[in-house]
Amino acid sequence: MCLCLCLVALCAGRAGHAQEASVAPDVVRQPLGDAWWTGPMLANSAATLPQGHFLLEPYLYDVTSTHGDSYGSLTYMQYGLTDRLTVGLVPTFGYNRVDNGPNSSGVGWGDSSVQAQYRLHQFQEGSWVPTMSVMLQETFPTGKYDRLGDRPADGFGSGAASTTLQLNTQTYFWMPNGRILRMRFNVGQTWSRSATLHDVSVYGTPEGFRGHAKPGDSLLVNAAWEYNMNRHWVLALDLTWRHTNGTPVDGVVMHGDGTVEDYHARAGSSVTWGIAPAIEYNVSGNLGFLFGVRVLTGGFRTTTSITPAIALNYVH
């Protein structure tokens, strides 16, 4: 399946090259170097940083659903180790407000990730082959996830380490008016390990529980487009699809009277669709802001949520 999706991305790149011919002879064709970008809200870039350069991109967001709000932040911190290899760290923080229960006791540290991205190919103007990179991400369970007591809203992590392998691609279209439309197409697979649980947890376990949960593996497909209206303003749109396998929770509940009860639960597999329109404002070639909103919905076994977000992108 992933191979088929990658072929679609390559065909899109070929279409973009063919579309150059549709630019009218009297229209000035925008040079690549004239376009400033912040990046869409969701799709990772296929580009790598030049050696010795760094990127800082903090996000602030509010995941709003029928049950409350999850305020959060995540920050991409990346460094160009070589021209082809970029490494980075992604810490997260959060605060939960719930409708029927106590809110988080304070801002909490969520799960953290380290990334490495290796560029396989660099897009060249006039070629149909997009920029392509392989990204490897390891997420560590640094956020609180069990022993939550009477404040389940203090849970900010999954308790399980996970590994993501993703192919990122990026190419360019020249529109009939000569302006550039940049496209990203990414496919990623995530594998999760088990989480050891005690008492009340983010998996809905009760006080006295002892056992394990195994978050389901997931497949993500993400396409994004950015239209460069002028040097400062860019319109962006993400489309996402994710399939996540079920999550079994198995163990026992130890009651205060000394009795032990078996406990087994399973969240079924789910399919989630998402759309994220955004506006980018680029102050300069290395500083920009993003204002967007992500809407996630079914699919299958998916809670609808709306997430407004703002971000700053700085490259040096």
- Percent of the chain whose predicted confidence (pLDDT) is above 70: 91
User: Do the Cβ atoms of 271 and 302 come closer than 8 Å?
Assistant: yes
Whether the CA torsion 62, 63, 65, 67 is positive or negative: it is negative
For the chain, domains (ranges, CATH) are: 2-315 (2.40.128.130)
Q: How far apart are CA 261 and CA 298, in angstroms?
A: 35
Amino acid, single-letter form, for residue 23: V
In sequence order, the 6+-apart residues with CB closer than 8 A to the CB of 293 are: 276, 277, 278, 306, 307, 308, 309
Whether the CA torsion 148, 74, 118, 128 is positive or negative: it is positive
User: Do the Cβ atoms of 69 and 60 come closer than 8 Å?
Assistant: no
Average pLDDT for residues 68-82, to the nearest whole number? Answer: 97
pLDDT tens, residue by residue, 189-215: 999 999 999 999 999 999 999 999 999
User: Do the Cβ atoms of 144 and 134 come closer than 8 Å?
Assistant: no
pLDDT tens, residue by residue, 246-289: 999 999 999 988 899 999 999 889 999 999 999 999 999 999 99
Structure tokens, 210 = 């002892």
User: Do the Cβ atoms of 300 and 42 come closer than 8 Å?
Assistant: no
DSSP 3-state of 19? helix
- Give CA 56 to chain center in angstroms: 16
DSSP 3-state of 122? coil
pLDDT of residue 28: 87
DSSP 3-state of 40? coil
Averaged pLDDT of the chain? 91
Q: How far apart are CA 14 and CA 257, in angstroms?
A: 69
Structure tokens, 270 = 């789910």
Q: Is the pLDDT of residue 25 over 70?
A: no
> Which has the closest alpha carbon to 47: 9, 75, 85, 104?
85
pLDDT of residue 19: 44
Stated pTM of the model = 0.88
Amino acid, single-letter form, for residue 37: W
First CA to last CA distance, the chain: 37
Run of H or E including 16: helix 2-18
Q: Is the pLDDT of residue 243 over 50?
A: yes
